[in-house]
Structure 1
C-alpha cells in the first residue's frame, strides 16, 4: 500500500506546514468519512466546523481560513486547496487497466491503417480504412474508429467509444466510455407533399483539438458541411450534446446534461452550467458563463453571466426571483 509522511506530502505541495502528525497517510478522503490514516481538505469556511469531529490526521487548507491543527494532526496551508488536492490525488491514483498484449488478436485493423509506435488496441476494436493513429494512442476494448479518421499522439478512447469516418482528433485527448463522435447531425425538413420528413445529408466532419476531455455518453455530431469543432483544452462532462456545425473555442467547460443546438458558436473560456440549453445559431462570446438550467435564446456578450429561462443578465434574474418571492408572501 502506498503511504507518505506529512513532510513528504508538503514537499510536493510546497505549502506552510502547521502542527505535525506521526501517522502514515494512505490516501485522501472527505472530512466526514476520513480515518486516522487519511488526509482531507478544507476549501471554504462552511467546512471548517467539521474539522474538529473529523478523524483525518491531516488537512490541506486554504490559507485564508482560521483553523487549528489539534493533537497529532497537521495542516498544510496553500493558496488553493482544490488544486493542491489534485496533486495528492495524482499520488494515490491507481494504475490504469493493463494490456496483456499491445494489440489484441481479436482487434480488426484494416491493412491500410497506420498505427504509431507504442499504440495499444484492446479486444474487439475496429480500426478502419486509411485510419491514422499517432504514437501512444490507447483504444480500450470495443472501440470503433472508422475510415480516414486521424488521431493524434497519446489520445485515449475508453470502451464503447465510436469515432466515425473522416474525423480529425488531436493529441492527449481523453474520451470516456460510450462517447459518440461524428454521428449524423439532426437535420430534417418536411417533404414537398407534406407527408413525412426528408433527411438532410450530413457530409461534414468533426475536428477536435488537443487536450480535450469528453465524458461518458456524450455526443459530438458531424457537420452538415464543413466541420463541428471542439477547441483545444475543452472539458465536456457526461451526457452532453454538441450539435452539427457548432464551434467551441479553447478551454470551454460544459457540465452534464447541457447541450448546444446546431451552429452555436462559443468563444474561449465559456462555461456552460448543467442542464443548460443553447438555441441554434447563437453566439456566446469569450469568458461568458451560462448558469445551470438556463435556456439561452439570444447572443451573450463577452464576460457576461446569464441565468434563467429564458436566460438574461444574472443580476436582473436574481432581482426578479426576489421580487416574485415577496409577491408570493403578500
Structure 2
C-alpha cells in the first residue's frame, strides 16, 4: 500500500503547510468518510462546517478559507484545492493492469501493420491491413483497429473499443471501454418509391487530435465525406454522441448523454453540459457554455452561456423561469 508523510505530499503541492501530523497518509477521501490516516480537501465555504466532525489527519484547502486547527492534523493551503487534490490522487493512483507479454499470442495482426517500439497488445485484439501504431501504444484485450488507421504514441485504448478503417488518432489519447470511433454516420433519405429509406454512404473518416480522452460507450461517427474532427485536448464523458462531419476545436468538454447532430462546429474551449443536444449545422463559438439538458437550435456567440429548451441566453432564460414560477402562484 502506498503511503506518504505530510511533508512528502506538500513537496508535490508546494502549498503553505499549517500545523503537522505524524500519521503516514494512506490515501485521499471525502470529508465525511475520511479516517485518521487519510487526507481530504475543502474547496468551498459550504463544506467548512463539516471539518469539525471529520477524522482526516490532513486537509487541502483553498487559501482564501479559514479552518479551525486540530491536534495532530495538518492543513495545506493552496490556490485551488480541486487541482491540488488531482495531484494527490495521481500519487495514490494504482498501477494499471499488467501485460505478461507485450503482444499476446491470440492477437491477430495483419502482416502489413506497423507496430512501434514498446507497444502492448492484449488478448484477442485485431489489427487490420496497413494499420500504424506509434511507440508505446497500449491496446487492452478485445480491441479492434481496422485497416489503414493510424494511432499516435502513448495512446491507450481500453477493452471493447472499435476503431474503424482510415481513422487518424493522435498521441497521448485515452479511449475507455466500448468506445466506437468511425462507425457510419446516420444518413438516410426517403426512397424514390416512398416505401422505405435510402442509406446515404458515409465515405469519410475520423480525425482525433492529441491528448483527447473519450469516456465509455461514447461514439464518434465518420464523416459522409471529408472528416469528423475532435481537436487537441478535448475531454468527452461517457455515453456521448458526436455525429458525422462535426468539428470540435481545442479543449472542448462534453458531459455525459450530450450529443452533437451532423455538421455541428464547436470553437475552442466550448463546454456542453450533460444531456444537452445540439441541432445539426449549428456553430457554437469559442468559450461558450451550454447548460445541462439544453436544446441548442441556433448558433451561440463566443463566450455566451445558454440554457433551456430551446436554449436562450442564460440570464434571459432565468428571467423567464422566474416569471413562470410567479404565474403559477398567482
Normalising by the smaller structure, the TM-score range is over 0.9
Gaps of 5+ in 1: none
Superposition pairs for residues 1-330 of structure 1, below 5 Å? Answer: 1-330=1-330
Using the alignment, how far apart are the partners of 1:274 and 1:45 within structure 2?
A: 25
SS of alignment partner, residue 51 of structure 1: helix
Using the alignment, how far apart are the partners of 2:327 and 2:156 within structure 1?
A: 54
Alpha-carbon deviation of 1:2?
1.3
TM-score (norm 1): 0.99
SS of alignment partner, residue 323 of structure 1: helix
Alpha-carbon deviation of 1:167?
0.3
Moved over 4 A (4+): none
Alpha-carbon deviation of 1:294?
0.2
Alpha-carbon deviation of 1:69?
2.5
- Could you list the per-position Cα deviations for residues 249-306 of structure 1 after superposition, in whole angstroms to 9, with x for gaps in the alignment? 0000000000000000000000000000000000000000000000000000000000
TM-score (norm 2): 0.99
Q: CA RMSD for the aligned pairs? A: 0.5
- Could you list the per-position Cα deviations for residues 294-322 of structure 1 after superposition, in whole angstroms to 9, with x for gaps in the alignment? 00000000000000000000000111111
Alpha-carbon deviation of 1:324?
1.1
SS of alignment partner, residue 52 of structure 1: helix
- Mean Cα deviation higher: 6-15 or 242-251: 6-15
SS of alignment partner, residue 47 of structure 1: helix
Using the alignment, how far apart are the partners of 1:94 and 1:234 within structure 2?
A: 25
- Mean Cα deviation higher: 7-16 or 140-149: 7-16
Using the alignment, how far apart are the partners of 1:312 and 1:197 within structure 2?
A: 34
Gaps of 5+ in 2: none
Alpha-carbon deviation of 1:71?
1.3
- Could you list the per-position Cα deviations for residues 2-28 of structure 1 after superposition, in whole angstroms to 9, with x for gaps in the alignment? 111111111111101111111110000
SS of alignment partner, residue 216 of structure 1: coil
Using the alignment, how far apart are the partners of 1:28 and 1:187 within structure 2?
A: 48
SS of alignment partner, residue 148 of structure 1: coil
